[in-house]
Amino acid sequence: MPHKDDKRSRYVEEIAALRIEGDNASEVEIPVIREAAVEIRLNGERFADAQCMPSDLNRMAVGYLVSEGILRQAAELTSVRVDDEKTIVDVIANVPEDRLRGAQDRMKPAGPAMTMDAQRVMALGHEFDNLPGLYKETRCVHSAALSDGERILYFYEDLGRHNAVDKTVGAAFMDGRNLAEMVLLCTGRFPFDMVAKAARAGFPIVISPAAATAEGILLAEKFHITLCGRVRKNSMNIYSSKWRITGT
């Protein structure tokens, strides 16, 4: 079931704006997204910074570490503590020192097990593209979701697609899900860095309503990721590892 955050006031604020429509002007109240500078600490040391919506910070921090290839198994995660006032997330985890070096080395080829029917890919992409959320209300966020290939299980939004993916990944990881058996859906284009994030997390299939770059496609092919872009109800582009998509 898509995630719904009930702490709306922490990340959405109503402001007064002047609305122009044709020759008419009027004062209106509109919802805008709030943002915060968040510090992620790993085992007491500052590890990364993020500018994101101040919600689900525990999931965002864990998902960031997973999609950076730092965390690989739920058993490695000891605790996550969020200081909402200072927007600091402290993650305690048992990870080997050599895993903290070399982001390229942390990417891994997706396993061969998962395939999907082409019609199901397009139907899932269409469902994702039409989920209710803050984008339609504010035009200021990206969305990400995870599916088992049949239904959408996790759904999060944030200012940037990287953070939206991290929150979604973190939620699934903390629930003990195997990301190698899940489909990543995300708004926005898929350049090299977004494909690298998917490769480090181990996703076999990625679905997006947007396009991919040449470098992103080459990286997806190298790591056996099936990258499906420009996905609509009745059309899509399969850029890489096309063998995963059946019924074509």
- The Cα–Cα gap between 118 and 100 comes to 38
Give pLDDT, residue 6.
52
Please give the Cα distance from 163 to 158 (Å, whole number).
Answer: 6
Looking at residue 1, its pLDDT comes to 45
Q: What share of the chain is helix, strand, coil (3-state, %, to 5)?
A: 30, 30, 35
What CA–CA distance (Å, rounded) separates 132 from 4? 10
Torsion angle of C-alpha atoms 177, 194, 59, 157, degrees rounded to 10: -110
Rg of the Cα trace of the chain?
19
For residue 7, the model assigns a pLDDT of 65
Pairing of strands 245-246, 237-238: unpaired
- pLDDT computed for residue 11 by the predictor: 84
Strand partners, 13: 32
Please name the amino acid found at residue 200. Answer: R
Residue type, 95: V
- Among 109, 125, 243, smallest CA distance to 183 is for 125
- The strand ranges marked E within 53-97 are 77-83, 88-93
User: H/E element holding 216?
Assistant: helix 214-222
* pLDDT tens, the chain, 248 aa long: 444 445 677 788 999 999 999 999 999 999 999 999 999 999 999 999 999 999 999 999 999 999 999 999 999 999 999 999 999 999 999 999 888 877 667 888 898 889 999 999 999 999 999 998 888 888 889 999 999 999 999 999 999 999 999 999 999 999 999 999 999 999 999 999 999 999 999 999 999 999 999 999 999 999 999 999 999 999 999 999 999 999 98
Start-to-end CA distance of the chain, whole Å, equals 29
Tokens representing 65 are: 């570490």
Q: What is the pLDDT of residue 2?
A: 45
The tokens describing 172, both together, are: 């699934």
Q: Which domains does the chain possess?
A: 116-246 (3.40.140.10)
